[in-house]
A = this chain, B = another copy of it.
Amino acid sequence: MLLLWEKIPLNQEMASLANIFVVSRTLHDGIPVLALDGFLDAHTAPNFESAIQQEVDGGNLRIIANCDKLTYISSAGLGVFMSFIEEIRERGGDIKICSVQPKVMQVFEILGFPALFDIVTGVSDAIGKFQESNQER
């Protein structure tokens, strides 16, 4: 019976303590969508940073951050958005933020992010924003 043990998935308690954060990438209408899942803090922010850096390096300057499953963010996570946005906009791109949970939205609001970033309801709205700016050009 004991041999079965290693195969049992981590229980709730452990999953929470493990401070899990995962970034996964998909393309929607050619636009990279980075889905953030879990806890984005000073420990996990470097993962998010390198995910954005990869897009920038690959010339993908229109990026969507899907916060659907982001349950926690501290200023270290906000700092990632903050440090890239100027360069990306100068080069004609943007980061659109979507699907933010109320508790995370509150953190964006405390620091005044809604005035500087497009924060929209869903992925399709974020894509819509990029298409709008296409037509303006």
List chain B residues, Cβ under 8 A from A103. Answer: 5, 8
Q: Could you tell me if B5 and A12 are in contact, using CB atoms closer than 8 angstroms?
A: no
This protein's copies in its complex: 2
Q: How far is the CB of A103 from chain B (nearest CB, A)?
A: 7
Interface bin, chain A:
10 to 19
List chain B residues, Cβ under 8 A from A102. Answer: 1-2, 4-5, 8
Q: Is A47 an interface residue (CB 8 A)?
A: no
Q: Could you tell me if A106 and B2 are in contact, using CB atoms closer than 8 angstroms?
A: yes
**Quick one: which of B4, B12, B71, B105 contacts A1, CB cutoff 8 A?**
B105
Residues of chain A having any CB pair with chain B under 8 Å: 1-2, 4-5, 8, 11-13, 15-16, 71, 102-103, 105-106
